[in-house]
Amino acid sequence: MRIRTSLAIATAAGAVALGALAVPAAQADEAPAAAKVSSFVNGVKADAAAKAGAKAGVRSGVRYVDGDVTIDKVTVNGNEDIVAGTSAVKTVNIYVTATDPEGIYDADAMLWHGTDFENDVDGAVIPEQEADCDYWSATSATCKITVKVDPKTDLWDSMLAGKWNVYAAAIGNDGDLMQDDTYKNVWIKRAAQITSMNAAPEPVKKGKTITATANLSRASWSYLKYYGYGSQSAQLQFAKAGSSTYTTVKTVKTSSTGALKATATASTSGTWRFYFPKNSTTSAATSAGDYVAVN
C-alpha cells in the first residue's frame, strides 16, 4: 500500500533530489496553492523513489519522467462540469487508467488553476487519501482518486471559475513514473439558480396574455452568497398539460439585478418555467414549473 509522502518527510528520509516546483519561502504565504501543489507532486516523486528503492535496493537512478509506464485515460467527475455553490462540499472522483509491463503500483491526480504549473498556480484541489486501485490485469490498473471541492477554502475567489487543469501521475511496480501536469482540462463553475418563478394570471382565458417572472442569481465564491446575474439570456419554456417535454417560447434577458420577465399568449393549459443555459463560468439553471390552467 502506498503511503502519501510529504515533501518534508521525503527530505528527512534522505530521498533523492525531488526536482522542480519548490516554492521559495518568501512566496509561501503569498501562494498557498502553489505550495500545496509543490508538496503534493514531490510526494508523488518520493513514492516512486521509495518503490524503486525497495525493488532495486538503492534509490539512485530512479526514472521520474521516463520509463515504460503510461497513462492511458483520465476521467474527471464523469466528464461533467464540476458545479460549486457557496457552502456544500462537492465530492469529485478522478479515474486514472495506467499500464506498465511490470504492473501498476499506484496513480494519483489533482486539479489546479493557473497559467503555468511551475510559476503561476493560484488554485489547487488535492486528494487527502490514497487512491483506490482496481488491478484488472497484470500490467494495467484503474485508480480512483477522490477530491473534495470546498467553496469556502479551495475556491477562494470567483475569478477561479472556468477552466482548470488536471495533473495525473502513474507509478509502475519498477518505480517508473509518468506525470503530466495538464493531462486534460476540466471546468469548475459557479452554481446558478432561478427562484421566485410565477406565471399569472391563474387561471387565464384562452388567447389572453400570461406574464412570467423570476430571478436569476449565481454563487459568489468571494463572498459566499448568491447575487443577481444581470444581462443574461434565459428562455421561457412551456410544456402542455400531461407532457414533460418543454419547448422554448421566447428568449429574454435579465435586468441588471437578475430579474426575469416575459409575456406569452395562453393557448392551452400547461406548465411554464425559465431555463438558463450554462456558460464558461456558470452552470445551467432551471426554475420550478408553474402550472396555469386555460379556460
The reported pLDDT for the residue numbered 5 is 38
Asked whether residue 152 falls in the same domain as residue 34, the answer is yes
The reported pLDDT for the residue numbered 90 is 97
Cα distance between residue 47 and residue 70, in whole Å: 17
The reported pLDDT for the residue numbered 54 is 60
The reported pLDDT for the residue numbered 67 is 77
Asked whether residue 89 falls in the same domain as residue 124, the answer is yes
Of the three residues 188, 223, 241, the one that is the final residue of a domain is 188
Cβ–Cβ < 8 Å for 254, 229: yes
Is residue 1 included in any domain, yes or no? no
The reported pLDDT for the residue numbered 92 is 98
The reported pLDDT for the residue numbered 61 is 37
pLDDT digits 0-9 by tens, 203-228: 999 999 999 999 999 999 999 999 99
The reported pLDDT for the residue numbered 226 is 98
Of the three residues 188, 206, 224, the one that is the final residue of a domain is 188
Is residue 129 included in any domain, yes or no? yes
Cβ–Cβ < 8 Å for 266, 205: yes
| Nearest alpha-carbon partner for 260 in 234, 242, 283 | 234
Asked whether residue 216 falls in the same domain as residue 155, the answer is no
Greatest Cα pair distance, the chain, in angstroms, is: 86
Is residue 78 included in any domain, yes or no? yes
Asked whether residue 57 falls in the same domain as residue 178, the answer is yes
Query: In this structure, what CATH number is given to the domain that contains residue 199?
Result: 2.60.40.730
The reported pLDDT for the residue numbered 55 is 56
Asked whether residue 25 falls in the same domain as residue 171, the answer is yes
The reported pLDDT for the residue numbered 1 is 37
The reported pLDDT for the residue numbered 52 is 82
HSE at residue 274, side-chain half, CA atoms within 13 A, is 31
Query: In this structure, what CATH number is given to the domain that contains residue 144?
Result: 2.60.40.10
pLDDT digits 0-9 by tens, 86-139: 999 999 999 999 999 999 999 999 999 999 998 899 999 999 999 999 999 999
Is residue 28 included in any domain, yes or no? yes
Asked whether residue 49 falls in the same domain as residue 140, the answer is yes
Report the domain count for the chain: 2
The reported pLDDT for the residue numbered 295 is 95
Asked whether residue 161 falls in the same domain as residue 132, the answer is yes
Containing structural domain, residue 52: 7-188
Cα distance between residue 166 and residue 116, in whole Å: 13
Grid coordinates standing for 77? 467527475
Residue ranges of the chain whose pLDDT lies below 50:
1-30, 56-64
Asked whether residue 68 falls in the same domain as residue 205, the answer is no
